[in-house]
């Protein structure tokens, strides 16, 4: 509706944005359904485009846009209800532990590239997920991170340093355990890649596995058992939480 009205007025996205004090990318995101049209912006657009309150009515009755990619929805839904979570990551810091700047760097690394608006939307959604670790009754959350993920300077050295400091903070949260698997270990039980194990309130055990082009929710007990064994071995080979904090301090250059 916004695009049709803009074109009827012979305006470009940049020109329309200037009239309502928004950049062209934001206008494009609204037109393509990637960003919600807020009622106050809708009122301005109605006035500029000469519409009789059409966009304002639509904005007030439009369901909230879902920015979570379809392949990630199963994990998000499971996280919100889980009583226990075990996460192994080998390339990036787990999403539940990421800072805003680090998350932005992760999304900016995507190919094909996200637009600036999409990066903002995805980052906001990721940060919203993190509230599951700060519930009144927190879940038991265990994270094992392979050491190379701590050395990859996504977003630059300053972003990485901030992320490492945030890991130190997270390691003190109730119910959260963070362990680093050192690069020097001569064997590795999870070379097939990252995975997440979750336990639901009714004691159902579920695994979540991501790949380059999708994801898989696993409920088969045999497969869950294999992944649970791998995670147990990861925790055994990883530094304990105290040793992990010592390593983070050394990486940060603290005594």
- pLDDT 10s digits, 118-127: 999 999 989 9
Confidence of residue 255 (pLDDT cuts 50, 70, 90): low
Q: What is the pLDDT of residue 136?
A: 83
The DSSP call for residue 96 is G
Tokens in use for 49? 């485009």
Sheet (strand 140-146) strand order: 176-181, 140-146, 84-89, 195-199, 205-211, 214-218
Could you tell me the CA-to-CA distances from 54 to 10, 39, 61, 138, 228 in Å, in that order?
19, 11, 11, 44, 54
Residue 244 and residue 250: Cα distance in Å, rounded? 10
Strand partners for 85: 141, 198
How far is residue 134's CA from residue 76's CA, in Å, rounded to a whole number?
A: 15
Q: Which of 24-33, 39-48, 155-164, 241-250 has the lowest mean pLDDT?
A: 24-33
CA 213 to chain centre: 16
Pick the CATH number of 2-61 from 3.40.50.1100, 1.10.260.40, 2.60.120.10, 1.10.1740.10: 1.10.260.40
Spell out the residues 6+ positions from residue 18 whose beta carbon is closer than 8 angstroms to its own: none
The predicted pLDDT at position 216 comes to 83
Average pLDDT score over the chain: 89
Q: How many CB atoms lie within 10 A of CB 48?
A: 16
Instruction: Compare 229 and 60 and report the one with higher pLDDT.
Output: 229
pLDDT at 146: 98
Phi, psi of 176 (to 5 degrees): -105, 130
Answer whether residue 24 shows pLDDT above 60: yes
Identify whether 112 is preceded by a cis peptide bond (ω within 30 of 0): yes
- Any idea which residue has 């590239």 for tokens? 113
Identify the pLDDT of residue 72.
54
Q: Average pLDDT, stretch 83-92?
A: 96
Average pLDDT over residues 191-201: 94
The Cα–Cα gap between 32 and 230 comes to 43
| Pair 160, 167: CB distance under 8 Å | no
Cα 77 to the chain's mean position, in Å? 13
What percent of the chain is modeled with pLDDT above 90?
Answer: 62
Residue 31 pLDDT exceeds 70: yes
- Token code pair at residue 232: 């147990």
Mean pLDDT calculated for residue range 189-218 = 88
Percentage of the chain beyond pLDDT 70 is: 93
CB 78 within 8 A of CB 206: yes
Domain 70-251 CATH (choose: 3.30.450, 1.10.10, 3.30.870, 3.30.70): 3.30.870
Positions of CATH 3.30.870 in the chain: 70-251
CATH 1.10.260.40 in the chain: give the residue spans: 2-61
**Which whole-number Å values give the CA distances from 89 to 32, 77, 173, 223, in the listed order?**
33, 19, 19, 18
- CA–CA distance, 216 with 210 (Å, rounded to integer): 6
pLDDT band at 60 (very low <50, low <70, confident <90, very high): confident
pLDDT score recorded for residue 176: 97
pLDDT of res. 23: 83
Once rounded to an integer, what is the mean pLDDT over residues 6-16?
92
Which sign does the torsion angle of CA 12, 16, 19, 21 carry?
A: negative
pLDDT in tens, 136-175: 888 999 999 999 999 999 999 999 999 999 999 999 999 9
| Contact present, 239 and 171 (Cβ < 8 Å) | no
């Amino acid at each position: 509706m916004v695009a049709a009205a803009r074109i009827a007025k012979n305006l470009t996205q940049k020109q329309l944005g200037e009239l309502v004090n928004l950049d062209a990318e934001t206008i494009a995101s609204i037109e393509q359904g990637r960003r919600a049209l807020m009622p106050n912006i809708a009122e301005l657009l109605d006035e500029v485009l000469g519409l009789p309150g059409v966009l304002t009515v639509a904005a007030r009755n439009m369901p909230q846009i879902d920015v979570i990619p379809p392949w990630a929805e199963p994990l998000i839904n499971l996280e919100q209800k889980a009583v226990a979570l075990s996460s192994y990551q080998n390339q990036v810091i787990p999403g539940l532990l990421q800072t805003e700047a680090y998350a932005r760097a992760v999304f900016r690394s995507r190919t094909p590239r996200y637009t600036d608006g999409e990066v903002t939307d995805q980052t906001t959604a990721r940060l919203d997920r993190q509230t599951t670790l700060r519930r009144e009754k927190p879940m038991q959350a265990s994270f094992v991170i392979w050491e190379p993920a701590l050395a990859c300077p996504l977003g630059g050295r300053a972003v990485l340093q901030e992320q490492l400091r945030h890991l130190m903070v997270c390691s003190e949260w109730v119910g959260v355990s963070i362990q680093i698997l050192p690069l020097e270990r001569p064997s590795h039980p999870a070379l097939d890649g990252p995975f997440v194990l979750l336990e639901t309130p009714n004691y159902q055990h579920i695994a979540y596995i991501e790949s380059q082009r999708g994801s898989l929710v696993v409920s088969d007990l045999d497969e869950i058992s294999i992944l649970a064994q791998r995670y147990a071995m990861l925790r055994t080979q990883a530094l304990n939480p105290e040793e992990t904090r010592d390593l983070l301090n050394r990486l940060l250059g603290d005594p």
